[in-house]
A and B are shown apart, each in its own frame.
Chain A
């Protein structure tokens, strides 16, 4: 794994954050998913998770977000264990998962404003974010009228409403068209230029120059749970 990083932060406006995992072990349903997994990420880094279906890409992203506790090992943000202060980690990390969390009876802008407020963002930020993902003209439309791709765009706009140094994207391009995929690529590039860190999994080729982390390399020799 090369330490060379072609997109060193040009204009670091985000707080310089490092993010690392040490010998992580994940157990799901009494079965070891991955073991002995370590990584180190510095400002501007991107990590792409590769692996078969069920190799633990989503689980690893949920571990990184703090939703799932690793059965062993430790996650470090700025050298301090994440588990010590989960709320601070919640402020620093944004997780985009399989589900888009768009409420059908709220408008697009209301959906996004709710998250913006919780993340400490502003309502102007909401409109800018919606323009960026190409939904500016749909701000007053209720969530139930959106297509799958549009819902995913709302979910991705959540990344932009308030700055956070760590983006954890679980197949962010699901249901997106080509234009939107290009938007995601440019969002990631800009985030890294700002000094942010991106970890993502994908099944399409994203034009992102990222270090690979192959989860198939971390399949535990013994799938059985610890005694």
Chain B
């Protein structure tokens, strides 16, 4: 089972790297979105600093959302999903592997880009540690929640719009506590509570989302 998990992660990462544009688009979207905010708000350092945490998180959510449609869509269209559902490996494990690969190819690049953009937005250096930790705890949750949405909209026309309506409301807790952790760190207050909640969200989605996703995929292949 672990071998199958590793095989699927390796295949999906390889697919993403060969179609290099996929991961790159997500990062490029993240950068452009944040830069647009900087241009829109203007060069007032104090304002930029105030909104930096929120802008980074909102753009990270949107960038993560942008990449969700390819999580199951191509496998669904070319018949691979049928075959994956018919392997000796439980579908929940396959889902977990695909979400892991998705996080490696989108969440990880976002985490790597975030501190650079934080500098651009003049974020207080006291918030950098909190930003990184919150992103590390939060982005896997985004991939996990997104997987449920991506599986539910398979086969639907204009699935992309539907997907954002399904998934974005569920992203709100991650956004709230992700931003709050950074703000607390900047103001010199304790951030432990926010990280505990982000960790709890990650553990909860880790248990529930693969199960919900595999149920949705079974519906999709019927």
Q: Which residues of A contact B (CB under 8 A)?
A: 65-69, 87-88, 90-91, 93-95, 97-103, 105-106, 110, 114-115, 117-120, 158
Contacts and interface: CB of A to CB of B under 8 A. Distances in A.
**Shortest 6 CB-CB contacts between residues of A and residues of B:** A99-B79, A91-B88, A105-B18, A101-B80, A101-B79, A117-B7
A210 to B, nearest CB: 22
Contacts of B4: 117-118
B116 to A, nearest CB: 29
Given A105-B19, A114-B7, A67 B78 contact: no
Interface residues of B, number: 24
Given A68-B222, A69-B222, A105-B19, A99 B78 contact: yes
Nearest to B221: A67
Nearest to B17: A105
B83 interface: yes
Interface of B: 3-4, 7-8, 11, 14-15, 18-19, 77-80, 82-90, 221-222
Given A105-B18, A105-B19, A117-B3, A67 B82 contact: yes
B14 A118 contact: no
A65 B79 CA distance: 14
Contact of A103 (B3, B80, B86): B80
A90 B18 contact: no
A99 B82 contact: yes
A26 B19 CA distance: 39
Nearest to A28: B222
Given A114-B7, A118-B4, A100 B78 contact: yes
